[in-house]
């Protein structure tokens, strides 16, 4: 009887061990883009495919595009924090003022390429932003910035700062709202999914966006004019994106699956995402060319005036960091130094 009991215990233990080893995890991933947009197809899906392959299909993604699980884009970060979803692909800047440390990369005229900006953003997060996200219950897997943002308008070409006066422009983040106001435009804050309707109904006269997102929203068909900036100057603006994971979900994973997440995230994923954003600009622009839109490149001398008009945003950001007990001036200098380090 004793031998039989021992055998039964051993069999039960083996079954439990086998069950644990065979346990599969499906990560619920939520984002706001339409399914065919560049970021979910070129950045998110390949990442999900890679973690599935590296885990022997023990860990997979279930991706929900276009806010299919409900809520609004600004609520995505809380959906990840609260465990409503396991991972959200979103912008920290959709929740204005909540993650001010990383806003340094959303200052006007600071980045020149998405790849360099994304590499710099991850390093900067590791030095200055980790406590901010830890305290707010978010585990970042990636930070990335998009390719250069430009001005797109329905009825009037923007060639100089004076042309912005009286125009209502959609902006994605608090910093871009401040930029537009400094340049004389009227900023209108709204998440990306609301932009097509706002343009078609005349709620806004134009919008700030990089090229990559425009074809997926058919926005090139809703405007006539596209104003780009002289490439000899830094980008008018960019926005910071985060792949945000629920910490409790990450901590619940077995060690081998945590290692898969770690291997495929962080600095390497950020750099890859930035390069993909850079590479997406030309294909995105071609849709506007094919549609017959009118293009104009704002010259460097004119942009120098824009840079002067918006310079106060740098002082304001530094002051806000100082008020938080952080070394604002040094943080700005470090961000600029990282951008120089990674500049091609």
Residue 117: which CATH number? 3.40.190.170
- Model confidence at 255: pLDDT above 90: yes
Percent of the chain predicted with pLDDT > 90:
92
Q: Are 252 and 329 part of one and the same domain?
A: no
**Residue 1 falls inside a structural domain:** no
- Examine residue 60 and state whether it is found in any structural domain, yes or no: yes
Task: Give pLDDT tens digits for 316-335.
Answer: 999 999 999 999 999 999 99
Distance, in Å, from the CA atom of 51 to the CA atom of 55, rounded to the nearest integer, reads 6
Same domain assignment for residues 303 and 230: yes
Asked if residue 252 and residue 222 are part of one domain, the reply reads no
Is residue 11 domain-resident? no
Are residues 171 and 233 both part of a single domain? yes
pLDDT of 15 reads 42
Confidence of residue 16 (pLDDT cuts 50, 70, 90): very low
Q: What is the count of structural domains for the chain? A: 2
| Structural domain span for residue 141 | 24-96+112-146+240-279
Count of C-beta atoms within a 10 Å radius of residue 126: 13
* Total residue length of the chain: 344
191 and 80 part of one domain: no
Residue 19 in any domain: the answer is no
pLDDT mean over 168-197: 95
Given a cut of 80, whether residue 74 has pLDDT beyond it is yes
Kindly state the DSSP code that residue 308 receives in the 8-state scheme.
H
Above 80 in pLDDT, residue 62? yes
Specify if 2 maps to a domain: no
Count CA atoms closer than 13 A to 97's CA, side-chain side: 4
Q: What is the rounded CA–CA span in Å between residue 180 and residue 306?
A: 10
Q: What is the DSSP string of 60-123?
A: EEEEE-TTTTSS-GGGHHHHHHHTSSSEEEE-GGGSTTSSGGGGGGGSTT--S-HHHHHHHHHH
Same domain, 293 and 325: yes
Average pLDDT score over residue span 266-287: 97
Q: Which residue has the tokens 């094919």?
A: 290
pLDDT of residue 168: 98
Are 90 and 215 in a shared domain? Answer: no
Report how far residue 239's alpha carbon sits from residue 133's, in angstroms, rounded to the nearest whole number.
17
By the 10 Å C-beta count (0-12 exposed, 13-18 middle, 19+ buried), 325 is classed as: exposed
Residue 312 in domain = yes
Same domain, 92 and 173: no
Taking the C-alpha atoms of residue 252 and residue 255, their distance in angstroms, rounded to an integer, is: 9
Both 253 and 187 in a single domain? Answer: no
Residue 274 lies in a domain: yes
Write down the pLDDT at residue 17: 41
**Band (2; pLDDT cuts 50, 70, 90):** low
- Which tokens sit at 95? 């929740």
Q: Which residues pair with 276 in a beta bridge?
A: none
- On whether both 82 and 43 belong to a single domain, the answer is yes
Residue 4 lies in a domain: no
Residues 188 and 320 in one domain: yes
Query: Are 329 and 204 in a shared domain?
Result: yes
Bridge partners, 228 (sequence order): 297
CB-count exposure of residue 341 (10 Å: 0-12, 13-18, 19+): exposed
């Amino acid at each position: 009887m004793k031998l039989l009991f021992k055998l039964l215990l051993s069999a039960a233990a083996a079954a439990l061990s086998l069950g644990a080893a065979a346990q599969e995890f499906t990560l619920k991933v939520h984002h706001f883009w339409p399914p065919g947009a560049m970021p979910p197809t070129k950045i998110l899906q390949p990442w999900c495919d890679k973690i599935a392959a590296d885990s022997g299909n023990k860990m997979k993604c279930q991706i929900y595009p276009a806010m299919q699980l409900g809520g609004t884009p600004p609520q995505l970060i809380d959906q990840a924090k609260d465990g409503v979803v396991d991972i959200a692909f979103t912008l920290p800047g959709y929740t204005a003022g909540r993650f001010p440390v990383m806003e340094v990369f959303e200052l006007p005229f600071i980045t020149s390429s998405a790849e360099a900006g994304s590499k710099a953003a991850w390093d900067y997060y590791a030095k200055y932003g980790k406590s901010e996200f830890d305290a707010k219950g978010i585990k970042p897997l990636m930070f990335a910035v998009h390719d250069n943002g430009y001005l797109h308008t329905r009825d009037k070409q923007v060639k100089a700062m004076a042309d912005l006066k009286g125009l209502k422009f959609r902006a994605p983040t608090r910093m871009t709202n401040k930029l537009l106001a400094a340049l004389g435009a009227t900023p209108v804050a709204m998440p990306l999914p609301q932009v097509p309707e706002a343009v078609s109904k005349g709620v806004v006269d134009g919008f700030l966006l990089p090229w990559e997102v425009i074809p997926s929203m058919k926005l090139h068909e809703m405007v006539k004019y596209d104003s780009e900036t002289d490439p000899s100057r830094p980008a008018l603006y960019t926005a910071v994106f985060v792949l945000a994971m629920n910490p409790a979900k990450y901590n619940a994973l077995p060690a081998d699956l945590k290692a898969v997440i770690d291997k495929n995230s962080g600095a390497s994923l950020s750099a890859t995402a930035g390069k993909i954003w850079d590479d997406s600009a030309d294909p995105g622009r071609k849709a506007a060319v094919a549609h017959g839109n009118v293009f104009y490149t704002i010259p460097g001398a004119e942009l120098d005036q824009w840079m002067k008009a918006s310079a106060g945003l740098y002082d304001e950001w530094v002051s806000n960091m100082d008020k938080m007990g952080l070394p604002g001036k040094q943080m700005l200098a470090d961000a600029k130094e990282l951008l120089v380090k990674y500049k091609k």
